[in-house]
Amino acid sequence: MKVYFDNAATTPLSEDVWKAMEPFYLEHFGNPSSTHSFGRKTKNAIESARREIASAMNVLPGQIIFTGSGTEGNNTILSSAVQKGVNHIITSPIEHHAVLHTLDFLSIKEGIKISKVELDEDGNVNLSSLEQLLKTNSEDKKLVSLMHVNNEIGNILPISEVVELCHKFNTLFHSDTVQSIGTLPLDLKSTPIDFATCSAHKFHGPKGVGFMYVKDSSLLESFIHGGSQERGHRAGTENVAGIIGMSRALKSATENLNKNYDHLTLIRNYFIEKISQIDSNIKVIGNQPPKVSPKILNLCIPSALVDDMLLFNLDLRGIAASGGSACSSGSNQGSHVINEIKNLRNCLAIRFSFSKYNTIEEVDYVIAQIKEILKK
């Protein structure tokens, strides 16, 4: 049996998404910047997709800018903010490296100040710490960058409270929403953040395409130069099929949000119930529902029960899981997220992440394999 439980890294492409994309590879192949009928066809398709995505997020079409990935969106937004005068960025130590590494670069190259909020024992942002940082150095032009759902432990940021704090101190707010869009409800009009990023392959869309939400386009500088695409904000011929696929995937995710949420919750809860029967010392890392994404389950398995070969042994048995962020695969430094959570000692952290395609039978198989591995 093959089981894919690494959906926080990427999700399989939905068949209906592929069917929506296929004509734009084989039939409607015109360059959207061309003025003839072939180009107009694809240009119209892109703008239709933009309107559909904007509608799903309850924003204006002009506030959606297509990108090649969530990483590109994060880089663009943070770099633009600095070019527009931001000199102090507040973040957390458990953000995705697409944010943390960008901030390291901007700190060295541009000399901006980087501050990091404190975390509680479960890896949540301490809002009092955030408020204190916002109060200090009132002459600074600040931006807060905090992800909506942590990609390793699934904790959900109380985004409305963060927005309220940012507004109180006249501070811009950017959120990496790559792990939340398509899984959790997010209305960008009623939760008025300034910037958000999205990647299609996290909700059964294609890889290599995403979008930025930018509330006020005057706050954005071009990150890629050489063309007037995306109203001059992102040069380069658009990934037409990818954009169409992303729009279709988001439409499906939005229409089935409650159904999929309930299914993911069922899978996650069942997994926790069964794994706890193996050994009560196996603990869930991070929050409890409803303050955690049902898509992500990170477990702390005591070192006395298992060695570092667990992922390898699971892979041999056809099971895909993760020891941390997939973007860090090959690193020997361990997960920076897990390392920041103080109450985790002498355990192996392993992330299982689920999709609408996963089943209870798959959980039973994985639990049986883990039980067998831990016995040896």
For residue 7, the model assigns a pLDDT of 98
Cβ(33)–Cβ(349) under 8 Å? no
For residue 330, the model assigns a pLDDT of 46
Residues 6 or more apart in contact with residue 368 via CB below 8 angstroms? none
For residue 326, the model assigns a pLDDT of 46
- For the chain (376 residues), the mean pLDDT of every run of 10, in chain order, is 97 98 96 95 98 97 98 97 97 98 97 97 96 94 98 97 97 98 96 96 98 95 90 94 98 98 98 96 94 97 89 97 61 76 80 98 98 84
Which among 324, 321, 330 has a CA at the least distance from the CA of 353? 321
For residue 128, the model assigns a pLDDT of 98
For residue 376, the model assigns a pLDDT of 61
For residue 303, the model assigns a pLDDT of 87
Other CB atoms within 10 Å distance of the CB of residue 276? 14
The Cα-based distances of 34 to 37, 41, 44, 238 in angstroms read: 8, 10, 12, 12
The radius of gyration of the chain's CA atoms, rounded to the nearest angstrom, is 21
| Pairing of the two strands 296-302 and 113-116 | unpaired
Q: Which of 166, 198, 300, 327 is catalytic?
A: 327
Give the distance from CA 310 to its chain's centroid.
Answer: 25
DSSP H helix total and E strand total for the chain: 12, 12
For residue 328, the model assigns a pLDDT of 43
Domains of the chain, CATH where assigned: 3-11+257-375 (3.90.1150.10), 15-255 (3.40.640.10)
For residue 331, the model assigns a pLDDT of 47
For residue 205, the model assigns a pLDDT of 98
For residue 333, the model assigns a pLDDT of 62
Question: Is 198 part of the annotated catalytic residue set?
Answer: no
User: What whole-number distance in Å separates Cα of residue 77 and Cα of residue 197?
Assistant: 9
